[in-house]
Amino acid sequence: MLRYPISIDYGRLETSLPILLTVTHKFRERQASGLPSKSYNSTLAEFDSAVIDVFNNQALGVTVLVETFGGNRAYYKYISPQADVAAARARFSKDFQNEELTWETRPDPKWTFLQTYKNDFGLNGSKQTK
């Protein structure tokens, strides 16, 4: 299952958001398909919005892809060097202490990850947005 925005100004954002942040959420309750159980998924709306929106409201990041598979949900974001990932991690650990998260960052100034993903899976900006 994929979600991604259809109206990102890649050219404008690429230069100011050169770091790829991946937040991976391991589901506590999942179906055999790897998707979260229906009852558990219904409790995740606030959490999901919080991960998608972290750094967005400060113009320090943008979520470019949310991928659900194999009992996990991965949120891919491009962020500014000024984004305080450690503070965000601490806040999520406190606010969502029952959820298992991993946070990884790596430089990706040309947004190579996203371009490769789009090419590999034929994503042309025509799918669902938040």
- Residue among 110, 26, 14 nearest 70 (CA): 26
* Predicted TM-score of the model (pTM): 0.86
d(CA 92, CA 49): 12
More confident of the two residues 93 and 115: 93
pLDDT band, residue 102 (cuts 50/70/90):
very high
- Paired tokens of 89: 């991690």
What does each C-alpha distance from 109 to 15, 17, 90 come to in angstroms? 7, 7, 26
Residue range 4-43, pLDDT digits in tens: 565 666 667 778 899 999 999 999 999 999 889 999 999 9
| pLDDT value for 128 | 39
- Model confidence at 108, pLDDT cuts 50, 70, 90, reads very high
At residue 84 the predicted structure's pLDDT band, cuts being 50, 70 and 90, is very high
pLDDT of the residue at 5:
61
Q: Calculate the average pLDDT of the chain.
A: 86
Cβ burial of 47 (10 Å; 0-12, 13-18, 19+) is: middle
Percent of the chain predicted with pLDDT > 90 = 65
CA distance 23 to 105: 9
